[in-house]
Amino acid sequence: MDTAAVRRFLLDTHGDTITETLRCADAVRAAWDGETVTDRAQVVKPFRALLGKRGLLDQYPTLLAGAVEAGGERLQAPSVAAPPYVIVTSTGPVLRATLPEGRLVIRIEAFRVAGRSPPSYSRTETSSDDALSVDYR
């Protein structure tokens, strides 16, 4: 799996999707009373809802399939906008493809988690390039 090719493909072909994902994160952050929140639900629920409303959740499976092909592989079955392919976590969307030799994991890191007891969540101040993480294990 050529993760550099996957990353280039995502930024070149789906950079607008990544940017729009980060705009959704900004809108979620704008609804908070402060810079951080301690309730995970204040991140995940509104973020997932806004991603769905703006059609991004429906775009992620196509993005994932294209990324797999850009890396030189093929999906065994079509991906869908639901687990295990697409999940929305407290840090952002995670797209996963299990392939014969490993797993491709794509993250759009829009939020960060600080501390553990209790955890606090804040909006990352990153560009599309910095927010994108591509890993193959």
Q: Convert the pLDDT of each residue in 76-106 to its tens digit.
A: 888 888 888 999 999 999 999 999 889 999 9
Residue span of the structural domain in which 89 resides: 3-136
* Helix, strand, or coil (residue 66): helix
Whether residue 84 has a cis bond before it, omega within 30° of 0: yes
pLDDT confidence of residue 125? 83
Query: What's the pLDDT band for 135 if we cut at 50, 70, 90?
Result: very high
Residue 83 and residue 30 in contact, taking contact as beta carbons nearer than 8 Å: no
Q: What's the number of domains the chain is made of?
A: 1
